[in-house]
Structure 1
Amino acid sequence: MSDESRTQGKTSRQASRQRRGIEAWLRARLAGERGGLAVVFAVGVLDAPLMIGQAWLLALIVNAVAIEQHGLAAVMPWLWGLLGLFAARAAISVFKDGLAFESAARIKQRLRDDLFARLVAAGPAAAGKQRSGAVAHGLADAVEAMDRYYRDYLPQMLLAAMLPIVLLLVIFPSDWVSGVILLITAPLAPFFMVLIGKGTETLNQRQWRRLARMSAHFFDAIEGLTTLKLFGASRRELEAVAAMAEGYRRDTLAVLRLAFVSSLVLEFLTTLGIAMVAVYIGFRLYYGEMAFWPGLFVLLLAPEFYRPLRDMGAQYHARMEAIGAAEGLIETAALEPVDRGAGDDRSGLTEPPQQLACRGLSFAYDGAAPVVEGVDLTLRRGRPVALVGPSGAGKTTLSYLLLGFLRPQAGSIEVDGIDLAAISPEVWLQRVAWVPQEPTLFHGTIADNIRLGRPDADDAAVRQAARQANADAFIDALPAGYDTQIGDHGQGLSGGQRQRVALARAFLKEADLVVLDEPSAALDPASEAAVTEAVERLAADRLVLMIAHRLDTVRRAHEILLLDQGRVAERGDHETLMAAGADYARLWSLYRADDVFGGAR
């Protein structure tokens, strides 16, 4: 065997193991719905005796009219019975489909809830590594693609294993030779279906990966459309999206070609089996070796014998689609929640904390070099601390540690002497607020956006928070005031107005710890002055950490920490650091010369 053949065989085995692992993950999602699936199967099995009774009555009616020359009156009771069987089978089919739909809907809803809970538990640090478009595609399209797998494929797979056996038990006493023909030809259908379906599975997985990439890329392009327009790159981006769409179209057609071949082979095999039974029964009838009624009865049951197998073949593509869609979801489902230790609500943190102290704080992402290393930091009420430093110095990571989004790998964070790991995440997150450089506002009214941290706050509290954030004047000037509808990301508001709404959230929440990620960046002088005044008011009686990219905002900080490669390189107030004439003073000189400093991290 050549090296190429061995490599291909190894790749094929790995792909097969991967598919088995994905399907095992899909079936694990059945927890809590196995009873519902069993009911769907039981209802489907009830159709078997009705199907047999229908074939039996139909054979009797045709035999009585065509062979025994009976009139309509003689067969009328049988006709009414046949009509009743038709109605009963239709009712069973509707009931079974309804049960399967409800069961699949519950599985999908639970899966979406679990995936969303995973993203939330992993925190912004982990969720931020995933593309927004890929996450949206997974929670919407990928989960929806599993509907037919749970609703149609799994119940049909069980029925395809049971119903042919039930029919064989009826067919063998009537005509054992026809039973042998059906018994021999039946395994050929699933054999060829799986044989052809192996190639389709690989194509389906590739198709879903391409669709996920295309969705994520398109989502990102839409979010950055303004930037693309400004830099004249929209045409180039359009061509990139068109190339991705063309690749997806080719993969889809390849899957459809194999799907049509699989359906053709399945139909050919079942037609061949029915034809063999029909020819055999025809010859026996011709030579007088079989009565007409049992021959017609077996011939009517032959298509019903293959129907569960044909239905499973039609739903087999639902399985392949679900496997392809689940591949990306497994990565989201594998996100580890932030390890906050054994925190509980009985931590003793009852009063507003007066001090937050970090001792020897260190953290590294995925075994890489430490992003934060040996940091000592103390926050006290009314004495804001500022972090400055170049991009990648560890400022955002340090803020994530204080907010509880990450857990330190070395050192400790203590709140009034209580280890942060001993405080319940829910309790701590109720006491903190984060005002990023680009705050996220949601579609809805301005009042609803301010109430984000306190949904039960009354109108008076909302207006008070807006006044403290210097936002009341522009809100009152809007046509609908606090009930003015804004779009996603604060569409309809300026940058300064969005920042003041975000500050109003922090005021309304009455958070003890506030992390400010340069809230006055990229604002006009009037807006910057309003935001700066609101920030000073917010910091008057709170634990405040400011991440500064514009050095003007740190001059009045009680203490300034200069981070360099995760370590504290300098600390002190503005005058002390300027007098030292070291790195901070040089950065201040560069800032004054260029009016630009740092980045988001």
Structure 2
Amino acid sequence: MKLLDLRLLGEAAAVRLALALTVLLGTLGGIAIVVQAWLLSRAIAQVFLGGQTLAGVQTWLLLFLAVAGLRAGLTWSSELAAHRVADRVKDDLRRRLAAHLLALGPAYVQGERSGELAATLVEGVEALDAYFRQYLPQLALAALVPLSVLLIVFPLDWVSGIVLLLTAPLIPVFMVLIGRAAEALTRRQWTALGRMSAHFLDVLQGLATLKALGRSREQLRSIAAVSERYRRTTMGVLRVTFLSALALEMVATLSTAVVAVQVGLRLLGGHIAFEQALFVLVLAPEFYLPLRLLGVRFHAGMQGVAAARRIWEVLDVEPQAARRAAPVPPAPLPASPLPLVFEDVHLAYDEGARPALKGLSLSLAPGETVALVGPSGAGKSTVAYLLLRFLEPDRGTITAGGRPLAALDPVAWRRQVAWVSQNPALFYGTVADNIRLARPSATPDEVIWAARQARAHEFVSRLPQGYDTLLGERGARLSGGQAQRLALARAFLQDAPLLLLDEATANLDPQVEQSIQEALERLLRGRAALIIAHRLHTIYRADRILVLDGGRVVEEGSHDELLARGGLYRRLVTAYRAEVPA
């Protein structure tokens, strides 16, 4: 176990002056301890050896109290500066983690457990507080304060100086030896915490399903088992922490006793003056205090290092776009309308994995509606992710208006695409806020207009506070069809030149679906649209239908043309009609 993690130290680069101030104030506080010890020994020597009364040493006592007050002020200021360092580091790290997860995109997040990521963002970052606020400043003080004391003690009493010098390393040596045993326990503790958080979130999100299937009691037992594993690892860490604290306290006490014994024997033998002996005896416990405090805070430092390992794992994942796209400065968007072309596009989600797309080529002209159909795993959703630049192709090019998509600013490009997914995301907030995500500057009248176009206004008006009604997490208070209509309202409000519809009428009853289809036809006028279809009756009137299979286009044409060919499309339609009678 390293005493200093250089990567964590690098996180404090932006606040290095505040960190240096923390150490400086702490060091001055350590020097104040030396001054206090000298003033106290001076006053006591004059009373017992010089025959002075308390009034005669009043000046020394007042100076002692003044230095004590100064020391308290320095300690308070040092802790305040340390708090600011820790808060700034945590805030910066949370921002970086959030921005990095956004850069990694849905493809990465979907492969991770949400609970573990949430634990990393919250508890993991918060665990660094003790590292930067307590452990890191104390590590510097443990080196600087004893060194300052030795520089003062050696000229006065070199024998005591040698004893202090030889016994001081015992505390950090014991600390490191014990720390090695605790390091693995601490790492397991954080792993168990992440798994417990993920498991709790899984159960909460699937609570209705578990109740319906009668499996809620099994999950309670599973939660109890996960919690018990976390309890055992935590108790293991605490046991080592308490044992190490006891061991370090014993080492410090024995070291102080060694100093006291040798000073006492030399004082009896007349080899050291009383005032010097008293000064060393008063100073000895304070000499070991920074080292003892380092031992106490060493485990907090290990907790921070263990939490940081998971943070580095996330931050070290290179965004797929950065791995596969050549770095180019963002180019301005070409003028709308934008013809879109995929040319010989290949993509595999992981190196060596089966390709999701193999030589895909397609085009989308302004004002044209193109539908993508195909069996599960054909690559339809991958095309959507490429279009939104959540992914970048391994080979091949995607152009918009003749310019490579990779050369365009991704944020500006996504404003040109109105995306309605099969499972729309709704967030905790009002109905109006959820619709206004598509265009935050929209007025209330524009929000209502978009809701009317999506046939959402009627049910929204019946909610307790209408558009100001707070929705539950993930739109928990709405039906699937209502959530879908709010997602469609976003598309109307965004008013983008390109539409990406992933079964936009899913979860709707036939009557509502018919009205939405009419609204979609109005929305599609004059816009290019790429429709990913699972319910095939929704795309019969598309200008072109592309049939995907095995990551490439295997058929292309209108609905009637493809039926007449008797290929894969006809088999898909036949199977669909058998499942859902017309």
Tell me the TM-score normalised to structure 1 length: 0.92
CA contact (8 A) 1:386 1:547 kept: yes
Q: CA deviation at 1:348?
A: 5.2
* 1:32 counterpart SS class: helix
State the Cα deviation string for residues 471-504 of structure 1 (Å, max 9, x = none): 1222222232221211221122221111111111
State the Cα deviation string for residues 199-239 of structure 1 (Å, max 9, x = none): 10111111111111111121122111111112222211221
Counterparts of 2:497 and 2:208, CA distance in 1: 37
CA contact (8 A) 1:343 1:425 kept: no
State which of 302, 319, 322 in structure 1 corresponds to 2:304: 322
1:525 is matched with 510
Going from structure 1 to structure 2, the CA distance change for 1:323 and 1:372 (only over 3 Å counts) comes to: same
Q: CA deviation at 1:128?
A: 2.1
Counterparts of 2:333 and 2:577, CA distance in 1: 47
Amino acid at match of 1:379: L
1:569 and 2:551 correspond: no
1:208 is matched with 190
CA contact (8 A) 2:484 2:506 kept: no
Counterparts of 1:192 and 1:486, CA distance in 2: 56
State the Cα deviation string for residues 275-306 of structure 1 (Å, max 9, x = none): 11112222233333333221111001000110
Query: Runs in 1 of length 4+ with deviation above 6 angstroms?
Result: none
Q: CA deviation at 1:357?
A: 1.7
1:358 is matched with 342
State the Cα deviation string for residues 39-59 of structure 1 (Å, max 9, x = none): 211111111331111111111
CA contact (8 A) 1:193 1:266 kept: yes
State the Cα deviation string for residues 544-570 of structure 1 (Å, max 9, x = none): 111111112121222222211112122
Counterparts of 1:245 and 1:553, CA distance in 2: 48
Counterparts of 1:232 and 1:555, CA distance in 2: 42
Counterparts of 2:366 and 2:459, CA distance in 1: 30
Query: Identity percentage over the alignment?
Result: 48
Counterparts of 2:312 and 2:178, CA distance in 1: 26
State the Cα deviation string for residues 95-143 of structure 1 (Å, max 9, x = none): 0000011011111111111111111112222222222111111110000
Counterparts of 2:90 and 2:330, CA distance in 1: 33
Amino acid at match of 2:346: S
State which of 22, 29, 47 in structure 2 corresponds to 1:47: 29
Counterparts of 2:487 and 2:562, CA distance in 1: 31
Amino acid at match of 1:268: M
Counterparts of 2:327 and 2:302, CA distance in 1: 42
State the Cα deviation string for residues 144-188 of structure 1 (Å, max 9, x = none): 001111111111111111111110122223322221111111111
2:58 is matched with 76
2:200 is matched with 218
Counterparts of 1:406 and 1:353, CA distance in 2: 23
Q: CA deviation at 1:526?
A: 3.1
CA contact (8 A) 1:178 1:277 kept: yes
1:581 is matched with 566
Q: How does 1:464-483 map to 2 (within 5 A)?
A: 464-483=449-468
State which of 410, 413, 428 in structure 2 corresponds to 1:425: 410
Counterparts of 2:269 and 2:5, CA distance in 1: 52
Q: How does 1:449-468 map to 2 (within 5 A)?
A: 449-468=434-453
* 1:48 counterpart SS class: helix
| Range that drifts further, 139-148 or 315-324 | 315-324
2:536 is matched with 551
Q: How does 1:291-440 map to 2 (within 5 A)?
A: 291-337=273-319, 338-339=321-322, 340-342=325-327, 344=329, 346-347=331-332, 349=334, 351-367=335-351, 368-440=353-425
2:426 is matched with 441
Counterparts of 2:400 and 2:452, CA distance in 1: 30
Amino acid at match of 2:410: P
State the Cα deviation string for residues 338-395 of structure 1 (Å, max 9, x = none): 235455554351x222421212222111222210112222223333211122221111
2:580 is matched with 595
Q: How does 1:52-201 map to 2 (within 5 A)?
A: 52-201=34-183
Going from structure 1 to structure 2, the CA distance change for 1:231 and 1:533 (only over 3 Å counts) comes to: farther
* 2:162 counterpart SS class: helix
Counterparts of 2:519 and 2:330, CA distance in 1: 32
Counterparts of 2:300 and 2:496, CA distance in 1: 50
State which of 271, 280, 305 in structure 1 corresponds to 2:253: 271
Amino acid at match of 1:271: T
Counterparts of 1:470 and 1:382, CA distance in 2: 23
CA contact (8 A) 2:245 2:295 kept: yes
Going from structure 1 to structure 2, the CA distance change for 1:251 and 1:81 (only over 3 Å counts) comes to: same
* Structure 2 residue runs without a partner (length 5+): none
| Range that drifts further, 427-436 or 375-384 | 375-384
Counterparts of 1:231 and 1:554, CA distance in 2: 36
Going from structure 1 to structure 2, the CA distance change for 1:58 and 1:135 (only over 3 Å counts) comes to: same
Amino acid at match of 1:477: R
CA contact (8 A) 1:445 1:482 kept: yes
Number of aligned residues = 577
* 1:369 counterpart SS class: coil
* 1:141 counterpart SS class: helix
Counterparts of 1:342 and 1:271, CA distance in 2: 61
Counterparts of 1:477 and 1:452, CA distance in 2: 22
CA contact (8 A) 1:357 1:413 kept: yes
* 1:385 counterpart SS class: strand
CA contact (8 A) 1:503 1:534 kept: no
Tell me the TM-score normalised to structure 2 length: 0.95
Counterparts of 1:416 and 1:390, CA distance in 2: 30
* 1:164 counterpart SS class: helix
1:237 is matched with 219
CA contact (8 A) 1:499 1:531 kept: no
CA contact (8 A) 1:207 1:251 kept: yes
Counterparts of 2:240 and 2:463, CA distance in 1: 59
State the Cα deviation string for residues 515-570 of structure 1 (Å, max 9, x = none): 11112223322332333333322222222111111112121222222211112122
CA contact (8 A) 2:428 2:472 kept: yes
Amino acid at match of 1:427: A
Counterparts of 1:522 and 1:507, CA distance in 2: 19
CA contact (8 A) 2:31 2:145 kept: no
1:248 and 2:233 correspond: no
Counterparts of 2:330 and 2:173, CA distance in 1: 58
* 1:453 counterpart SS class: coil
* 2:57 counterpart SS class: helix
1:508 and 2:493 correspond: yes
CA contact (8 A) 1:119 1:335 kept: no
Amino acid at match of 1:499: Q
Counterparts of 1:228 and 1:534, CA distance in 2: 37
CA contact (8 A) 1:190 1:313 kept: yes
Amino acid at match of 2:397: S
CA contact (8 A) 2:431 2:470 kept: yes
Counterparts of 2:481 and 2:270, CA distance in 1: 96
Amino acid at match of 1:136: A
Counterparts of 1:231 and 1:384, CA distance in 2: 42
Counterparts of 1:346 and 1:165, CA distance in 2: 58
